[in-house]
């Protein structure tokens, strides 16, 4: 059922198609697709693609709705455009390496606002410059502002140096003070961070809008997978069980070293044999580092690093494999990887290396999935993964039910966002 479009929202985000560096791009893209059906006309203010470290025209740009104006402000990546022999002036990367677009984005944003004034400004992390730009536009125009933090800016953020930490502290407080509503993607980020650190603000300030999957993308991927499966019937007589981790692995927060050790242990015990399973790390980043670990633990016949592929092909691969791997250390207990929602939709068994006390484990438990082991406990990983393999092989591994999966869709999240945006016009 259609809804009369009568309200305007300006979405501000550093990454929008053709950006392809992470699955987080999908959050803003899908908001821009689904908000119009909830009565909100959308325009997007983002960076020029020249600032992106990774981008792809294939399977991305065509998904931008024709009705959504996209303003691409001039932007530079300090580490690329302003560096000499890999070094650049520190102030050029405050609050982040894309700080240059704040100036050009402000000019472009003011021009857009004068042409078609939005009812609400919405900005989205994980790059702090998006919140800084939104803060400046809000101060210049007094338009209500909704800040999508996704994850806390300063919670265990070990990548920040002293100057960045100071700027982030200032910007985080200014954002909380100035925005009408603040959005996070996990319950722990709200109760364990925002409410404790900013206890002076009322309950109505905080909102939970989790990450999600998009049904249209998955329907298309599932149809392509089924078509390819029909063509390949009878070609493989004996196939190994195939497991995949899709996306980045970080050396700290998602360190797979203990998992590698666990697989090596299972091989030595004879629990896992070459040719029986295959584990794919799809575009994990730091490929040389992880390949060195694979070589060290002699896992070359089981563990494979594979290159980045278009998003739609990633979804097809998820349908094609036997199980999906998730890595999330205790350092990120108040965060949930966006890919877990996509994993749910494939209806494939999930094996999660995560802390049992974190938000990720709680979400998996709510889906009745219990194949979980701590990221850094190789003995327990080995025990649980061996059990998981047997469950996958026998078809008894748990998967999320239809009702749970339906509640995790991008459309459901856009409805939640529309409700928050609507509050800005009633307060």
Question: Can you give the pLDDT at residue 2?
Answer: 44
pLDDT score at 15? 86
- What is d(CA 151, CA 24) in angstroms, rounded to the nearest whole number? 11
Query: ∠ at Cα 339 (407, 272), nearest 5°?
Result: 115
Q: CA 87 from chain center: how many Å? A: 29
Q: Secondary structure of 253-265 in the HEC alphabet? A: CCCCHHHHHHHHH
Residue 227 burial (CB count, 10 A): 11
Q: Topology of domain 7-212+409-423, per CATH?
A: Rossmann fold (3.40.50)
- Whether the upstream peptide bond of residue 93 has omega within 30° of 0, thus cis, is no
What Rg value do the Cα atoms of the chain yield, rounded? 22
Tell me the Ramachandran region of residue 368: left when phi exceeds 0, alpha when psi lies from -120 to 50, beta otherwise: left
| Fold agreement (7-212+409-423, 215-406) | yes
Residue 235 is predicted with a pLDDT of 47
Within a 10 A sphere around the Cβ of 330, how many other Cβ atoms? 15
**Which option is the CATH number for 215-406: 3.40.50.720, 3.60.15.10, 3.90.1150.10, 3.40.50.2000?**
3.40.50.2000
Residue ranges with strand state E in 294-413: 303-306, 323-328, 350-354, 372-373
Cβ atoms of 344 and 360 closer than 8 Å: no
Domain residues of the chain, as ranges? 7-212+409-423, 215-406
Between CA 394 and CA 374 the distance in angstroms is 24
The strands making up 206-208's β-sheet, listed across from edge to edge, are 70-73, 40-47, 7-13, 120-124, 145-150, 181-184, 206-208
Separation of CA 81 from chain center: 26
pTM of the entire structure? 0.84
Q: Residue 3 has what pLDDT?
A: 47
Neighbouring-strand partners of residue 353: 327, 373
* pLDDT per residue of the chain (427 residues) written in tens, 0 to 9: 444 447 999 999 998 888 766 667 889 999 999 999 999 999 999 998 887 776 665 556 778 989 999 999 998 875 554 455 555 555 456 777 888 899 999 999 999 999 999 999 999 988 899 999 999 999 999 999 999 999 888 765 556 678 788 988 999 999 999 999 999 999 999 998 899 999 999 999 999 999 999 999 899 999 999 888 765 544 455 689 999 999 999 888 899 999 999 999 999 999 999 889 999 999 999 999 999 999 999 999 999 999 999 888 999 999 999 999 999 999 889 889 989 999 999 999 999 999 999 999 999 999 999 999 999 999 999 999 999 999 999 999 999 999 999 999 999 999 999 999 999 976 6
HEC string of 8-43? EEEEEECCCCCECCCCCHHHHHHHHHHHHHHCEEEE
Torsion of CA 36, 211, 157, 378, to 10 degrees: -160
Supply the DSSP symbol for 354: E
What does the buried/exposed string (b/e) look like for 80-89 if buried means 16 or more CB atoms within 10 Å of the residue's CB? Answer: eeeeeeeebe
Strand locations in 108-198 (E): 120-124, 145-150, 181-184
Separation between Cα atoms, residue 272 and residue 294, nearest integer Å: 16
Q: Residue 56: what pLDDT?
A: 63
Assigned token pair, 369: 């999935």
Among residues 320, 337, 370, which one has the least CA distance to residue 213?
Answer: 337
**271 Cα distance to chain centroid:** 34
């Amino acid at each position: 059922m259609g809804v009369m479009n009568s309200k305007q929202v300006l979405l501000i985000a550093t990454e929008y198609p053709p950006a392809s560096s992470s699955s987080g791009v999908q959050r803003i893209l899908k908001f821009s697709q689904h908000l119009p059906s909830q009565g909100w006309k959308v325009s997007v203010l983002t960076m020029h693609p020249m600032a992106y470290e990774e981008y792809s025209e294939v399977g991305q740009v065509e998904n931008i709705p024709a009705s959504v104006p996209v303003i691409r402000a001039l932007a530079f990546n300090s580490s690329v455009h302003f560096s000499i022999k890999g070094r650049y002036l520190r102030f050029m990367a405050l609050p982040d390496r894309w700080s240059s677009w704040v100036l050009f984005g402000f000019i472009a944003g003011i021009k857009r606002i004068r042409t078609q004034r939005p009812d609400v400004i919405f900005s989205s992390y994980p790059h702090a410059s998006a919140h800084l730009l939104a803060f400046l536009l809000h101060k210049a125009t007094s338009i209500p502002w909704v800040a999508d933090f996704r994850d806390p800016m300063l919670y265990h953020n070990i990548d920040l140096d002293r100057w960045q930490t100071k700027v982030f502290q200032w910007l985080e407080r200014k954002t909380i003070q100035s925005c009408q509503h603040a959005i996070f993607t996990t319950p722990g980020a709200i109760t364990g961070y925002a409410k404790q650190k900013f206890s002076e603000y009322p309950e109505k300030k905080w909102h939970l809008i989790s990450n999600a999957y998009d049904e249209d993308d998955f329907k298309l991927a599932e149809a392509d997978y089924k078509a390819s499966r029909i063509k390949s019937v009878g070609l493989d007589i004996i196939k190994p069980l195939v497991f995949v981790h899709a996306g980045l692995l970080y050396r700290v927060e998602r360190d797979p070293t203990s998992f590698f050790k666990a697989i090596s242990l299972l091989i030595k015990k004879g629990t896992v044999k070459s040719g029986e399973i295959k584990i794919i790390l799809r575009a994990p980043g730091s490929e040389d580092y992880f390949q060195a670990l694979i070589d060290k633990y002699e896992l070359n016949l089981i563990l494979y690093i594979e290159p980045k592929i278009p998003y739609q092909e990633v979804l097809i691969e998820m349908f094609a494999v036997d199980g999906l791997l998730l890595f999330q250390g205790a350092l990120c207990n108040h965060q949930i990887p966006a890919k877990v929602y996509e994993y749910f939709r494939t209806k494939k068994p999930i094996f999660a290396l995560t802390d049992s006390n974190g938000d990720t484990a709680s979400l998996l438990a709510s889906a009745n999935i219990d194949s979980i082991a701590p990221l850094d406990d190789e003995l327990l990983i080995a025990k649980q993964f061996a059990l998981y393999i047997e469950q996958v092989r026998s078809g008894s591994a748990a998967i999320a039910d239809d009702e749970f999966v339906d509640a995790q869709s991008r459309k459901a999240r856009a409805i939640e966002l529309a409700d928050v945006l609507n509050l800005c016009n009633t307060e």
